[in-house]
């Protein structure tokens, strides 16, 4: 079983180190907790995004997941795999939120509108904001657009795989409730599809101000 990605220099999730952080946080070490947040907030966020929840619901799931961990941290059986624990918790809480969303009618409550604001950055604006950045914004926009044209299954897998820092396959398996062994082949297929979408110039992108 793979517990660590073998494919890059950006591998940040080392089970032994994670086990140490988890034990230290369980003992009250706030710096270790911060380390866990840095390692896994990207993963937890990617799981909540997978369920396409409203922004306020995604925020609640994200917070609930971390609050749960704060209460459970001294009781986790395998501290090395706290990432898988977080991914599983986030997945279950996302399902719960998705279920609740079908029951509770949206309202025009100002608090909801206000909370939705955190999600209020369009790809267009973000790309413009990033013009100073090293990233090639046009290429980024086309890639993002192509990504959203992939099948739901591919988007789900890739969105978890592309969390920052990169999650290990065990955590990805927990996030998606899929066998570890099928991640590699599905990833290869999905990346191939993405490449095809990029190549076929049917990705329509109007960059404001550039035309």
Partner 1 sequence: MHDEPDDTELEEELRRVAALLDPVPSVLLQAAVEAFTWRTVDEDLAELVLDSLVDHEAALVRGSQDRRLLCFHTSDVCIEIAVTSTGTSRALVGQLIPPQPASVEIRHRTGLVTLESDTLGRFSASSLRAGPISLRCRPGPQAAGRAVVTDWVSI
- Residue that has been written with the tokens 């079983």 in this structure: 1
Taking CB under 8 A as the rule, does residue 11 contact partner 1? no
**Nearest residue (CB) to partner 1, 108 versus 211:** 108
Residue 37 touching partner 1 (CB under 8 A): yes
From 17, 78, 100, 177, residue interacting with partner 1 (rule: CB under 8 A): 100
Q: Please tell me whether residue 45 binds partner 1 under the rule CB under 8 A.
A: yes
Distance of CA 86 to the CA centre of its chain: 12
Regarding 151 and contact with partner 1 (CB under 8 A), the answer is no
Burial class (CB in 10 A: 0-12, 13-18, 19+), 171: buried
Taking CB under 8 A as the criterion, the residue among 72, 138, 182, 200 binding partner 1 is 72
- The b/e string for 81-101 (b: 16+ C-beta within 10 A; e otherwise) is bbbbbbbbbbbbbbeebeeeb
- Which one, 17 or 136, has the nearer CB to partner 1? 136
What CA–CA distance (Å, rounded) separates 41 from 49? 12
Please report, as residue ranges, which positions from 155 to 184 form the binding site for partner 1 (by CB under 8 A): 158-159, 161-164, 166
For CA atoms 90, 93, 97, 99, the dihedral sign is positive
- For residue 139, the minimal CB distance to partner 1 (Å) is 7
Kindly state the smallest distance separating residue 192's Cβ from partner 1, in Å: 8
**Is there binding between residue 25 and partner 1 (CB under 8 A)?**
yes
């Amino acid at each position: 079983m793979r517990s660590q990605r073998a494919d890059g220099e950006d591998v940040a999730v080392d089970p032994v180190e994670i086990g140490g952080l988890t034990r230290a946080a369980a003992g009250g070490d706030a710096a270790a907790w911060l380390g866990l947040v840095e390692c896994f907030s990207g993963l937890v966020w990617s799981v909540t995004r997978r369920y396409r929840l409203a922004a306020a619901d995604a925020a609640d799931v994200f917070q609930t997941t971390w609050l749960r961990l704060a209460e459970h941290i001294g009781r986790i059986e395998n501290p090395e795999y706290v990432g898988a624990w977080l991914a599983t918790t986030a997945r279950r809480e996302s399902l719960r939120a998705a279920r609740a969303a079908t029951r509770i009618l949206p309202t025009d409550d100002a608090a909801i509108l206000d909370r939705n604001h955190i999600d209020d950055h369009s790809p267009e604006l973000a790309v413009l904001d990033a013009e100073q950045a090293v990233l090639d914004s046009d290429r980024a926009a086309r890639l993002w657009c192509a990504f959203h044209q992939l099948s739901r299954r591919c988007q789900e897998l890739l969105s978890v795989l592309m969390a920052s820092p990169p999650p290990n396959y065990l955590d990805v398996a927990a996030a998606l409730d899929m066998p570890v062994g099928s991640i590699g082949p599905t990833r290869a297929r999905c990346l191939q599809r993405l490449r095809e979408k990029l190549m076929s110039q049917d990705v329509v992108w109007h960059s404001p101000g550039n035309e």
